[in-house]
Amino acid sequence: MGSAARLFFALWPDDATRTRCAKLATQLAEHGGRPVSAGNLHITLSFLGSVDNVQRACAERAADAVQAQPATLTLSRLGYFPKPRVVWLGAEPVPFALADLAADLNHRLDGCGIALDARPFALHMTLLRKAHGPAVLNVPEPIVWKIQSFSLVKSETLTTGPIYSVIRTWPLYKD
């Protein structure tokens, strides 16, 4: 079967978007919480968990078959999940193309023997961990991100915290 790896599909920010999101996280951290490392900022489309090589190959074939459109995402909303104590950055409304991408990907992953999260897609980027809530409820300047691709990402947990590495990227296409 091969060794298992913790994997997820994500929207992976370009450098300019990553820099702006990291700056916002640092500004918010002044009010409490630990900012997520700039290199780890992303939006999860589908969390696969620990998968073996056969499941990974199936997941990559599923991603190969995804038909999705590029989208422009305006990150303009802050929120807070109290149980994991995270402050997140999101968009409202979520572009249909991104909701469709997540749904199509999850549908295609169905035959891969991977236990997927049954909750509906909730577009968000975690900015702070161990936070007490957002000190402000609005984003001073919305962050516009032109999404052209999605990625398969490996998660490794180290004593210094998680490290995420892009394994492979798929472009989104216009008709």
Task: Supply the DSSP string of 73-88, one letter for each residue.
Answer: EEEEEEEEETTTTEEE
Q: Is the confidence at residue 105, as pLDDT, over 90?
A: yes
Per-residue pLDDT tens for 35-68? Answer: 999 999 999 999 999 999 999 999 999 999 998 9
Distance CA 134, CA 128 (A): 9
How would residue 93 be classed by pLDDT, with cut points 50, 70 and 90?
A: confident
Closest CA to 64 of 147, 152, 164: 152
CATH architecture, range 5-170: Alpha-Beta Complex (3.90)
Cβ-contact 74, 124 below 8 angstroms: no
* pTM (2 d.p.): 0.92
User: Residue 1 — very low, low, confident or very high, per pLDDT cuts 50/70/90?
Assistant: very low
Q: Tell me the mean pLDDT in the region 101-105.
A: 94
pLDDT category, 147, cuts 50, 70, 90? Answer: very high
pLDDT tens-digit readout, 107-137: 999 999 999 888 888 899 999 999 887 666 6
Tell me the average pLDDT across 64-77.
93
Q: Give the per-residue SS3 of 133-163.
A: CCCCCEEEEEEEEEECEEEEEEEEEECCEEE
Helix axes 53-65, 96-109, angle to 10 degrees: 140
Residue 30: which pLDDT band, with cuts at 50, 70 and 90? confident
Q: Is it the case that residue 175 has pLDDT exceeding 70? A: no
Separation of alpha carbons 100 and 13, rounded Å: 19
